[in-house]
């Protein structure tokens, strides 16, 4: 991967994190895809942020089915993981 591609994915990761932080517990993957545009970069960013322990996936009731929402993990609870 070149540095340009790596930088683009990093920017997308931080963009996803800022959106999740602003709408913590209320944003779904589909909403992120609609807002950002590129499905694969959004999925990559979600996976990366989840592995880093910055966000977590929470199961909840959506409009017509069970959906997964993303929320930010507080820094003090991240240390316990």
- Among all chains, which residue has been given the structure tokens 């979600």? 46
- Please name which of 4, 68, 8, 77 lies closest in space to residue 44, comparing C-alpha atoms: 8
How confident is the model at residue 37, as a pLDDT? 85
Q: Which CATH number fits domain 3-80: 1.10.10.10, 1.10.3470.10, 1.10.260.40, 1.10.10.60?
A: 1.10.10.10
Domain range annotation of the chain: 3-80
Condensed to tens digits (0 to 9), the pLDDT of residues 34-61 reads 998 888 999 999 999 999 999 999 998 8
Q: Are 53 and 14 in contact (CB under 8 A)?
A: no
Distance of alpha carbon 39 from alpha carbon 59, whole angstroms: 20
What's the mean pLDDT when you consider all of the chain?
A: 83
């Amino acid at each position: 991967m070149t540095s340009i591609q790596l930088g683009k994915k990093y920017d997308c990761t931080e963009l996803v994190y800022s959106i999740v932080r602003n709408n913590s517990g209320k944003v779904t993957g589909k909403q992120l895809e609609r807002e950002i545009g590129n499905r694969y970069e959004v999925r990559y960013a979600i996976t990366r942020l989840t592995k880093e322990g910055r966000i977590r996936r929470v199961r909840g009731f959506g409009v017509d089915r069970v959906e997964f929402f993303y929320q930010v993990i507080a820094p003090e609870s991240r240390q316990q993981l």
